[in-house]
Structure 1
Amino acid sequence: MSSHENATDDARVIQLRPGRRPAPQAAPAREPLWRDLVGDVLRSERLAQERTLKDVADEARISMPYLSEVERGRKEASSEVLAAAARALGLTLAELLGRVQGEIIKVGALTSVAPAQASTSVSSFAPAQASAGASALRRGEVRLAA
């Protein structure tokens, strides 16, 4: 008998075309980090005032690279740094944190919406008008009220 005749009937099958895989599930929307929202609010206010990063950093006595990192959500700033940046922008720490809270509520509402409904782009926020206490909307922005 040859070795071929002694082989078992089990054959190894190699798939040339992989079978259909189930469609990947959409990842649940993640809640934003505090530092991201703080940075977004600081940057938005600075840009609304048409001020440079250097100008605000100098007035706040914060290094420009550090303020840039805070605005981009790369650094978790201390309350002293946040207060200094807020003052340089003409805000109190309470006003800054209130705006961040508003963003948390707004983004939280978006993350709880079904992914198909949440695909509409919503601008992060508009700068608040200090005198009237109301927010001015930029063209194309959508405001959500909680």
Structure 2
Amino acid sequence: MTNQAPNEARVIPLRPRATAPAPHGPAPRPAAPAPRPALKEPLWRDLVGDVLRRERLAQERTLKDVADAARISMPYLSEVERGRKEASSEVLAAAAHALGLGLGDLLTLAQRELVRVTSRPARHGRTTTTSSYDGLCLAA
């Protein structure tokens, strides 16, 4: 049996109740609300690898076929596609050309993927990005 009246709702507090301040010393501060987790940006190697794999699969080509055409090892291309290796610009250009893309095309597709992944939905169905610039910028 419970000590509740039959028509009263049982209330289970989500936060502990505030306790009376200790007789000596200042009252403790209420806890600040937890900050919203920051949007985690993906690694560049993951984005480029995803683009390379998607393009290869869209062309219905095997890993071996593309690796041979790019003159890189099949295991290395696999590691690049899975985001496990940071490929040099020469390797990326070779893989892109093997897929019929220019290096600029590969970078543009990776930039679009970055925008897609880091965009967050806003009110009224539009999306907003964490950056006000929606273009590709490369620095030497």
Would you call these one fold, judging by a TM-score over 0.5? yes
**Which AA in structure 2 matches 1:34?**
W
Unaligned runs of 5+ in 1: 1-19, 115-145
Aligned counterpart, 1:108: 118
Unaligned runs of 5+ in 2: 1-14, 17-33, 123-133, 135-140
Note the C-alpha offset of 1:29: 3.6
> What is the distance in 2 between the residues matched to 1:26 and 1:72?
29
Misfit runs of 4+, over 4 Å: 24-27
Aligned counterpart, 1:74: 84
**Which AA in structure 1 matches 2:88?**
S
**Which AA in structure 1 matches 2:98?**
A
Note the C-alpha offset of 1:30: 1.2
Does structure 1 residue 64 correspond to structure 2 residue 74?
yes
Residue number among 50, 53, 57 corresponding to 1:40 in the alignment: 50
**Which AA in structure 2 matches 1:58?**
D
Tell me the C-alpha RMSD between the 2 structures.
2.6
TM-score by length of 2: 0.60
Identity %: 72
> What is the distance in 2 between the residues matched to 1:26 and 1:54?
44
Aligned counterpart, 2:125: none
TM-score by length of 1: 0.58
**Which AA in structure 2 matches 1:75?**
K
Does structure 1 residue 55 correspond to structure 2 residue 62?
no
Aligned counterpart, 1:92: 102
